[in-house]
Amino acid sequence: MLPRRYHRIKQVLDQRQPDLTVLTEDVHKSHNLSAIIRTCDAVGILTVHTLNVIDELPEVSLVAKGSDKWIFLDSHPDIKTAITHLKQQNLKIYAAHFSEESVDYRQIDYTQPTAILLGAEKWGVSQEAAQLADGHIIIPMLGMVQSLNVSVAAAVILFEAQRQRLGAKMYDNTRLAPETYQRILFEWSYPDIAAKYQEKGECYPSLGENGEIIQ
């Protein structure tokens, strides 16, 4: 691998935010999920959580522009499991959801560990998910149409989170635990070789300054 590519991978990993994530609830259109993943990559999200009980998890499409290679997809069997999993990581869950208790999405402090819950294209966030969330947020709509496309809503909210985190200098130093960082760095740099090590159940070798494998 060329050193330039290795350093690019490192630069991206250095800015990943392990405590900012998205949970999609029954987002079933491939182009929507793909666009959300692409936005997550741009904002520095490491893992996208999904839940598809009505339809199957859609295939990631060309809309993702390959960003899915740099994002982990964690699929959950039901909303309770998904939200419990996120709460165990001390994430506050904000449902992008129209309700009487909704607040403007700009009122939230996204420098705190946060998960954004996004609802299905047709019927939005389920009642159960809305109840389990820590709060509800809305992007004010001043036109004739009542909602945005789900991937657009994701982008609007996530770039506000990015703005706040840039201001708090949360992208300046790596935020991943050293072991996690080294593991992902190897997997992103050498996916085929990483798969062979996984098959054998062996630890990855170390990497040199320019990404060369040190045996």
DSSP code per residue over the chain: --HHHHHHHHHHHHT-BTTEEEEEES---HHHHHHHHHHHHHHTB-EEEEE-SSSPPPPP-GGGTTGGGGSEEEEESSHHHHHHHHHHTT-EEEEE--STT-EEGGGS-TTSSEEEEE-BTTTBS-HHHHHHSSEEEE----SSSS---HHHHHHHHHHHHHHHHHHTTTTSS--S-HHHHHHHHHHHH-HHHHHHHHHHT-PPPEE-TTS-EE-
Angle of the 178-189 helix axis to the 191-200 helix axis, nearest 10: 120
Q: Is 115 exposed, middle or buried (0-12, 13-18, 19+ CB in 10 A)?
A: buried
Tell me if 121 contacts ligand SAM by CB under 6 A: yes
Tell me if 13 contacts ligand SAM by CB under 6 A: no
How near is the Cβ of 60 to ligand SAM at its closest, in Å?
19
When binding is defined by CB under 6 A, the residue of 150, 155, 161, 170 that contacts ligand SAM is 150
Tell me if 64 contacts ligand SAM by CB under 6 A: no
Tell me if 44 contacts ligand SAM by CB under 6 A: no
How near is the Cβ of 204 to ligand SAM at its closest, in Å?
38
> Rule CB under 6 A: which of 171-210 touch ligand SAM?
none
Tell me if 93 contacts ligand SAM by CB under 6 A: no
When binding is defined by CB under 6 A, the residue of 47, 61, 147, 164 that contacts ligand SAM is 147
Tell me if 20 contacts ligand SAM by CB under 6 A: no
Q: Number of residues in contact with ligand SAM, rule: CB under 6 A?
A: 16
Tell me if 141 contacts ligand SAM by CB under 6 A: yes
Residue 66 CA to residue 14 CA, distance in Å, equals 19
Tell me if 1 contacts ligand SAM by CB under 6 A: no
Tell me if 153 contacts ligand SAM by CB under 6 A: yes
Tell me if 98 contacts ligand SAM by CB under 6 A: yes
The span of 10-18, 41-49, 90-98, 200-208 binding ligand SAM (CB under 6 A) equals 90-98
Tell me if 148 contacts ligand SAM by CB under 6 A: yes
* Tokens matching residue 25: 């609830």
When binding is defined by CB under 6 A, the residue of 23, 48, 96, 170 that contacts ligand SAM is 96
Quick one: 13 or 150, whose CB is closer to ligand SAM? 150
